[in-house]
Amino acid sequence: MECTCRDDNLCELTEYIKGVFNPEHPQSALIAILHHAQGMYGYLSRDVMEHIAQVTEVPAAEIYGVATFYSFFKHTPQGKHQIHVCMGTACYIRGGAKLLETLEDMLNIKPGETTEDMLFTLGETRCIGACGLAPVMMIDDKVYGRVEPEQLKGILDEYRTEMQA
Ligand code: FES
């Protein structure tokens, strides 16, 4: 396993890989390695995936294949806060689509995109099991239930204020 680290983060990632990688079963630790890398960088850049390929000697195409197969791996820089609007059936029929549309207008981004100030990334989610509270959205790990479009500005402002504090 050769490492040509260009910065401390890559050295740390290399050390992690050395700890979990088993050359006998090169694919077995890939998901854990990609998770760890995403935790460090917030997303998986091409450079980071190429570094993983170089250290593990797993072909880069295989690394990209795994990273793009799972939706929880991100390939662009993510906002500080992740907004997910539930598009499950119960939420959808109780106004989830309207919530998403309002957020798109307020933030001027589409699902999958991040605001220019890097504060919010917008996304959709499937049912999170809180259908009784439909329509539901999450910001990071916090669940907001029975959300009305009129409440959205106040909710987002809480996160904007936190950034200025
Ligand atoms: S459909 Fe939204 S929480 Fe179940």
pLDDT in tens, 52-73: 999 999 999 999 999 999 988 9
Provide CB contacts within 8 A for 24, sequence distance 6+: none
Residues in contact with ligand 1 by the CB-under-6-Å rule are 86, 88-91, 127-131, 134, 136
pLDDT in tens, 107-162: 999 999 999 999 999 999 999 999 999 999 999 999 999 999 999 999 999 999 87
Q: Taking residues 91-113, report their average pLDDT.
A: 97
What are the contacts of 110-115 at 24+ separation with CB within 8 A? 114/76, 114/77, 114/78, 114/79, 115/79
Q: Of ligand 1's atoms, which has the minimum distance to the CA of residue 134?
A: 2
- Between the CA of 111 and the centroid of ligand 1 the distance, in Å, is 18
- Between the CA of 16 and the centroid of ligand 1 the distance, in Å, is 37
Q: Has this prediction a pTM greater than 0.85?
A: no
Contact 133, 143 (CB under 8 A): yes
Q: How, if at all, do strands 120-125 and 81-86 pair?
A: parallel
Radius of gyration of the chain (CA): 19
